[in-house]
Amino acid sequence: MLFTTIILSIREIRRHLLRSFLTTLGIIIGVFSVITMVTLGNAVTASVTSQISALGANQLMIFPSQGQGRGGAAFPPPFDQSDLDAIRDQVGGIKAVAGQAQASALAVRNSQNWQTSITGTSNDFFMAQNWAIDDGRLFSEPEQAAGKSVCILGHTVVDNLFGKEEPVGQRVRLGNVSCQVIGVLATKGSAGFGNDQDNTVVMPIKAVQRRFAGNQQIRAMIVSLAEGYDSTTVTRSVSALLRERRHIAPGQPENFNIIDTAQLSATLKTATGALTSFLAAIAAVSLIVGGIGIMNIMLVSVTERTREIGIRLAIGALGKEVLLQFLVEAIALSCLGGLIGIIVAFFASWGLTAAAKLPFVFDPVINFESFLISALIGVVFGYFPARRAAALNPIDALRHE
């Protein structure tokens, strides 16, 4: 009986292809919207996670912040080498700590030039950032102590100044400073918002302070935590130490910021996940609209086929057989719409993530759930019309014009 009912339902759907397609359109749009929203949300989450991982996992980033004085905003004091040494020596759980001095300059080699950023730091920077060297070497102790004009280039700088030539051992000019290339950094890629991490030149911090900044200030510190240490505990210890060293009284606001990349990653994942769920819930409303459309068309179909239903009942068909036929039609339309919606959503999500330069994250769970929900909508919204058809009186149905 079930097989015959399915055949009759499919035949009826094929008799009105255009109406069947328009009936499923609401389901198609609903499934497409939900899957696309969730896929884009997952892509953004994966991108954010990747960008934060590129900055360094299990890491603290410390910056001076803007304090408030009686006369308005007071410029916060920078860090110095003694702050760096105090954190390394007095706080437990520290694997590496590196100070940073920043500058920007036009890098020039022969007829080639490229605008780039310059980071002055120590070898601990590469350990804290988990940044390997593709070619060449790190700074030697004498080079760091004396602030020698040696540099390690990012791949973007190498590509624009050297092309396919070997850069190690050659010299480049950074502004008015001639610098010997001793290494090439491994590729890191973008950190988001157009920030190319490979467009950088790394030099000993004393060289940048003396040749570019003209002072001994450290504008940022990167602290890498040892395995097994809780970042919250280490953050509190670092905060207490810096408050003491910067003479901040209890109750006064700190004039520095500590960013925990692990907590930042968790917070951003939660925020993007909540936003994705919210957008998916809004998109799911169109599934309800699609279900109402199916119920409406099925009620029209019952009215159109009243005499047919009367004939079937008069020659011995059971009411449950009629109910099953109309219910199968509704479920078939819903499932068809769900399947088309999944296919359209797949290609649309792939295209949108590619256009936005986001990773394409295929989630089989949301696709399967969307298909099941579309089938459930067919059951829920198709039951009332099917029940109405099964409850028709054969004599009244045969009299229907």
Q: What is the pLDDT of residue 69?
A: 46
Same domain, 237 and 373: no
Query: Is residue 206 domain-shared with residue 229, that is, in the same domain?
Result: yes
Residues 31 and 150 in one domain: no
Give the model's pLDDT for residue 232. Answer: 84
Backbone conformation region of residue 121, classed left if phi is above 0, alpha if psi is from -120 to 50, else beta: beta
Show the tokens assigned to 301: 């179909």
Each residue's pLDDT tens digit, 27-40? 888 888 888 888 88
306 inside domain: yes
Find the range with the poorest average confidence among 168-172, 276-280, 307-311, 326-330: 307-311
Report the pLDDT value the prediction gives residue 401, as an integer from 0 to 100: 54
Domain count, the chain: 2
Q: What is the pLDDT of residue 193?
A: 47
Judge if 239 and 315 occupy the same domain.
Answer: no
Residues 346 and 380 in one domain: yes
Helix (H, G, I), strand (E, B) or coil at 306: helix
The tokens of 91 are what?
């706080």
Domain-located, residue 365: yes
Indicate if 195 and 281 belong to the same structural domain.
Answer: no
pTM of the model: 0.63
Tell which residue, 155, 101, 159, has the closest CA to residue 133. 155
Q: Calculate ∠ Cα 345-349-351, nearest 5°.
A: 120
What span, in angstroms and rounded, lies between the C-alpha atoms of 380 and 330? 9
Read off the pLDDT of residues 62-80 as tens digits, 9 standing for 90 and up.
888 755 444 445 577 888 8
The helix-helix angle for 231-245 and 261-304 (nearest 10°) equals: 130
Instruction: Give yes or no: residues 234 and 288 share one domain.
Output: no
Domain span at residue 159 reads 77-254
Q: In sequence order, what are the beta bridge partners of 270?
A: none
pLDDT digits (tens, 9 = 90+) for 179-198: 999 999 998 866 544 577 88
